[in-house]
Amino acid sequence: MIEFTRQSKDKNVLVIGVGHKASRVVDAMFIENENPVIDFLLVASDPQLLNYSILPASNKVCINLVNSNSQDRDENETLDRILASGYHMAFILSDLDGETGAALPAMIAKRCRHSKTLVISVLAYPFYLDGRLLQLKKQSGLAELQNQADAVFMFSENRILQSSVSPESRFLEPIEVVMNMIALDGYININFKDIETLLKSTNKLAAVLSGIGQGEKRIEALVTAMDESPFLSELNTDFIDTILICFESGAETEFLMDEIASVMDYLQIKFGSDAKIIWGNCSNSNLADRVRVTAIVTQSNSTKRHQDSTMKELTNLADQLNEMLNVAELDMAKLWDIARELDQIPDLRIKLVDFEKYNEENLAKLTAEKLAMVKEQNFEACANAREQEKECFKYANFQKYFKLKHSFFYPEERKLFFFHLGTEKNDGVMMQYFDSVK
């Protein structure tokens, strides 16, 4: 049996960083790691990035995907030798930024699978602010990575402003969840074979959920935390086929059977009664008087193909709308046709974000209104003002962070955003039009 506990002396797990963000994550893990089964590798196309990393030279490889010479061949041989060192599981951390950002992770995943390694990709999907050609490269890179990796855990970078957690720490969540599931002991154990059976050769999109609770309302607290997982936003939760759950009890408390049943009922309601549930019940002395639930959910591949087709259609319609923003004369008949096509996309939500309203000046006004309602003890009006203030704060910071300069349409899974800045010839007309038909 493969041993993943801290008492093992064999390095069974390889964490691979690809790109700038992932290199910071791998460096931080390398400094803090106390688990002897984990090894680290940084792969980059830019030699300077390797120089900045604190990893030993033997744990860094430079791969040039554009030009090839004798040194590049040596580096490729070094990479193959490292990947063939007998690792049972590899986590590939990457984003799709840069010209080679999409190609490198897929290439590494393919080589890992040649060594019979379980390959789990953790991917930060970038915001849709690039040129059309680069965006197509990223979508193609994602599709290739899903074909090569056993499973892909993905979170979208454009959601980082909605959370206090840094995007770098998001990379760690799937690693921590999977490693904890395997290492913990208890009444009903989850082992590497369970993880391998769930993910091996499935090419599925997957998500991790995690929540900690304490006290009388501990189940409510941990379920709320699980529901806010950023990895869920990239899945169609109506088509989850398998859920692997680990219940963790601290040294001073244990899960009650009705609590376990409540969590399972929540997951079954959220993901559907057809989803298969596999679960374990383990002890974790670090939790003390708290309890935790972690879960891995996987999406069926038939749904993925449907989503790919829908996203391609939505991206095409968003491109057409962006082209119409600055035409000399707006074709209202064409706009109506596009609106009808959008209406045919199931469960599509159109979100209009007016940055002429979401700005620092209006934020200060809303904050003043909220404080005035508090003084008047008009708590219903105060609650409404607080919600408006939160939304204004979120999008004002959103514009500031991404340095938005122009109005544009942005497609997401089952969503179409129109970011309105009042900069284009026809964006005012289109704002009014979609506000009336949404």
Q: What is the pLDDT of residue 3?
A: 43
Predicted local confidence at residue 6, as pLDDT: 39
Q: Which segment, 163-172, 181-190, 203-212, is predicted with the most confidence on average?
A: 203-212
Q: Which is higher by pLDDT, 314 or 346?
A: 314
Complete domains list, the chain, with CATH? 1-167 (3.40.50.1440), 184-299 (3.30.1330.20), 303-437 (no CATH)
Q: Which residue has the higher pLDDT, 296 or 384?
A: 296
**pLDDT higher than 80, residue 402:** no
pLDDT, residue 71, reads 59
Residues 99, 159: Cα–Cα separation, whole Å: 23
When pLDDT is averaged across residues 384-392 and rounded to a whole number, the result is 84
CB of 287 within 8 A of CB of 226?
no
Local confidence band at 92 (pLDDT 50, 70, 90 cut-offs): very high
The confidence score (pLDDT) of residue 122 equals 93
pLDDT confidence band for 139 (50 / 70 / 90)? low
Q: How confident is the model at residue 236 (pLDDT cuts 50, 70, 90)?
A: confident
**What is the arithmetic mean of pLDDT over 74-84?**
85
Indicate if the alpha-carbon torsion angle 143, 178, 59, 116 is positive or negative. negative
Per-position DSSP letters for 294-362, written without gaps between them: EEEEEE-HHHHHHHHHHHHHHHHHHHHHHHHTT-SS--HHHHHHHHHHHHTSTT-EEEEEETTTSSHHH
pTM for the whole structure: 0.69
Structure tokens at 254: 């244990």
Q: What is the pLDDT of residue 307?
A: 59
Which range has the worst mean pLDDT, 209-218, 231-240, 291-300, 350-359? 231-240
Least confident of 89-98, 110-119, 175-184, 223-232: 89-98
For residue 33, with 0-12 CB atoms within 10 Å meaning exposed, 13-18 middle and 19 or more buried, which class applies?
middle
* Whole-number pLDDT of residue 8: 47
pLDDT confidence bin for 188, thresholds 50/70/90: confident
Average pLDDT, the chain: 82
* 349 φ, ψ (degrees, to nearest 5): -115, 130
Among 318-327, 362-371, 407-416, where is mean pLDDT lowest? Answer: 407-416
| Angle at alpha carbon of residue 139, lines to 136 and 145, rounded to 5° | 140
Confidence of residue 40 (pLDDT cuts 50, 70, 90): very high
Q: With cut-offs at 50, 70 and 90, classify the pLDDT of residue 7.
A: very low
Residue 324 clears pLDDT 70, i.e. is over it? yes
Percent of the chain, pLDDT > 70?
85
Q: Is the pLDDT at 285 greater than 70, yes or no? A: yes
b/e 408-438 (16+ beta carbons within 10 angstroms → b): bbbbbeeebbbbbbeebebbeebbebbeeee
* Residue 208 to residue 229: CA distance in whole angstroms: 7
pLDDT of residue 207: 92
**Of 148, 98, 89, 158, the residue nearest 124 (C-alpha):** 158
Which two three-digit tokens encode residue 394?
């979120």
- The pLDDT confidence band at residue 224, using thresholds 50, 70 and 90, is very high
CA 47-51-52 angle, 5° bins: 120
- Please check the confidence at residue 244 and state whether its pLDDT lies above 90: yes
Count CA atoms closer than 13 A to 432's CA, side-chain side.
Answer: 4
